[in-house]
Amino acid sequence: MTQPQSFELLTEIEEGALDETADLSSVLRKCIALGGQNGSESLRAWATRELKGYHDSETEIPTYRVVPAPIAISGQTATHLIKGQSIRPGALPEPAASTIKEEVSISSPLSQIVEMVASARRSGDEFVMIALPSAQTLATLMNGEAKRTNPLSRQHVSDIYWEVSCTALVAIIDNVRTTLVELVAEIRAEMPTKTDLPSAEVTDQAVNFAVYGKRNKVKVITNQVGTARDVKIQQEAGENTNRGRRGLFAGLAAIVTAVGTVLLVLHH
């Protein structure tokens, strides 16, 4: 008996996720195809965001994309250059001092994260720089405050950024690979038979669990008429471990509306 095409895709997704040399972007595109075949909007949405980036402010960023990162500045004084000098969030002007933390949500497409790591290591570096939101405005305010406090000050801050380690970025890539394996395992665990077409409901609940840690209780009742089956799902409230992150930088709107961009400037 020929297996359904969607089941073959599921197998290919699992094989690609387990193969450390496989291109994850190709595996994610297969997830989009599977979601299109069985009607799983959650699977299509997650795979698309991993491929294109989490640029919608209303979209919840998975916790595995939130990484620790110290804040640093570059610039100069009257006598020497400054590069990669660590500062505490409290040293930033308000409202940034109250809202910015020593962690950053990496919203870039997965392929760009892979290239960040490769580019850094080609240069012999273990960090990449990601600009803070409104970085130039914050630098201007800091320079102005230094002048106000000391009119003779020659301090000039040119860049403010998070220093993100390559290790943290590699962990994001590895988490995507692990999530793909968990997705397949969850889908197969809830499928009525091992060769059946995974339903949209089962696939959606697998995404909620593997990606966002929200466990849905799925009860499968097989009222078989031909190949049709009824699948009933009972939702259970899952913990949203990323709640509130979307509003992290809302206070910065009082200064400017510009959003920080990724700088491929590497720290020695």
pLDDT tens-digit readout, 60-107: 899 999 999 999 999 998 788 988 899 999 999 999 999 999 999 999
Q: By mean pLDDT, which of 54-63, 101-110, 208-217, 231-240 is the weakest?
A: 231-240
Nearest to 129 by CA among 174, 170, 98, 160: 160
Question: Is residue 226 packed enough to be buried (19+ CB in 10 Å), middle (13-18) or exposed (0-12)?
Answer: exposed
d(CA 99, CA 101): 6
d(CA 202, CA 206): 6
Higher pLDDT, 78 or 238: 78
In the chain, domain spans: 5-63+173-234, 67-170+244-266
Q: Which residue has the tokens 């889908």?
A: 187
Reported confidence tier of residue 195, pLDDT bands at 50, 70, 90:
low
pLDDT of 215: 65
Nearest to 54 by CA among 112, 96, 95, 100: 112
The partner residues of 225 in beta bridges, in order of sequence, read 228
Distances (CA, A) of 124 to 4, 117, 121, 188: 47, 11, 5, 43
Torsional sign, CA 38, 40, 44, 50: negative
DSSP helix, strand, coil percent of the chain (3-state; round to 5): 45, 20, 35
pLDDT of 248: 38
Give 245-268 pLDDT, tens digit per residue: 444 333 443 333 333 333 333 343
Q: Are 34 and 10 in contact (CB under 8 A)?
A: yes
pLDDT of 80: 86
pTM of the model: 0.75
Are β-strands 228-234 and 217-225 bridged in parallel, bridged antiparallel, or unpaired?
antiparallel
Element (H, E) at 67: strand 66-68
65-80 residues labelled b (16+ CB within 10 A) or e (exposed): bbbebbbbbbbeeeee
pLDDT of 252: 41
Amino acid identity of residue 133, one-letter, is P
Q: Does 197 have pLDDT greater than 50?
A: yes
